[in-house]
Amino acid sequence: MPRMVTVITGASAGVGRATVREFARRGDAIALLARNEDGLEAAAREARELGGRAIAIPTDVADAAQVEAAADRATRELGPIDVWVNDAMATILAPTWAIEADEFRRVTEVTYLGQVYGTMAALRRMRPRDTGTIVQVGSALAYRGIPLQSAYCGAKHAIRGFTDALRTELMHEGSNVKITTVHLPALNTTQCGLVRTRMPRKPRPVAPVFQPEVAARAIVWASEHPQRREHWVAGSTVMTILGSRLTPGILGDRYLAKTGFDSQQTDEPVDARRRETDYLFTPVPGDHGAHGPFGDEAKPRSRGVWLAEHRGALLGAFGAGALAAALARR
C-alpha cells in the first residue's frame, strides 16, 4: 500500500497513541492532534522510529478553529489528507446529579463536537477531491448507556446519529468519500489514571479488558475497509450491542443498576487531590503512553476481531450461525 497522509486526534495517549504506531508501521505520514504537547512529541518520535513521517500539532478538538488550523497545517506540510481518525474523548465518572453543567458541556464538546469538527475539516478537503476516508472511534457505550458515564454515553450516542445522517448525505450526492465507525470494548489505556471522578474508589475499565493495540489494529483495518459502515471490536462489544437491542430493559437496566457501580471501580480509595490533577479542562503534563495499569488482565488480541475481519469468507464456509457463536465467545 502506498504511503498515505493520516490525521489522528487524541494522538498523545491511549488508543490514539497506539493507533499512531500502527499507521507509522504502515509508513504513513501522520499529523498528530492532541492538547498534551509532551505526549504528542513522544508519539511523533515513536512514529518516526517506526518508519512513518510525523508532525505534532497541539490542538484542542473542542475548538473548531484550532481543528481547522491543524487540518491546514497537515495539508500544507504532509499533503492531501487520505484518512482522518476521530479518536479524542473525555469523560467524568460520577452519577448524573453529581456532574456540573460545565463538566457536561466539556465532555460533550470534546467527545461529540470534537468528532463533528474533525469530520467537517476532513470533508472540506476530501469532498473537492472526491476521495478520502473518515474513521469515527466509537464505543459499545454508543448503544448501551451505563451508570456513572451519562455525559460520555450521551456524546457517543450523538456521534452515531451524526455519522448515520452524514453517510446518507454522502451517498445522496454520489460521493466517493467514505465514513466508517469502530466501536471499541473496555481497554487498558491511560484513561482511568487521568479521568475526573467523584467516586470513592479508583476507576477501572469494565471487564473483559483489552490492550489498546487491539483497538489500533481494528482502526487501521477499518480505514482500509471503509465500505463496512461499522466495525464491532471484540466479542464483548458484539454482545453489548446485541444485548441492548434484545433486552434493553429488564435484563440490561437492572443488571447494570446492580453491577455498574462496582465494576467501574477498584478496591483502592481514590486520591483526595484527584480533581486537581485530572485532564478534563487542562492536559496533565508528561508523556503518559498508551497503556494503563491493568496489563495483567488485559487481552493482547481478540479472536472476535479476526473473525469479524474475515467474516465474508467464514460465512461462505460455515454459515452465519457458526460465526455468531464464535464472536460471542470473544
Q: Which residues are catalytic?
A: 152
∠300-310-83 over CA atoms, to 5°? 75
Where do we find the cell 498523545?
12
CA distance 222 to 224: 5
Exposure string (b/e) for 271-294, b if CB count within 10 Å is 16 or more?
Answer: eeebeeebbbeebbeebbbbbbeb
Q: Would you tell me the crossing angle of helices 114-126 and 150-172 to the nearest 10 degrees?
A: 20
> Smallest Cα–Cα separation from 220: which of 21, 39, 13, 35?
21
Residue 243, amino acid:
G
Where do we find the cell 478520502?
132
Residue 310 grid cell:
474475515
Residue 115, amino acid:
Q
SS3 135: strand
> Smallest Cα–Cα separation from 69: which of 124, 15, 126, 108?
124
Maximum Cα–Cα distance across the chain: 56
User: Which DSSP helix (H) or strand (E) runs through 83?
Assistant: strand 83-86
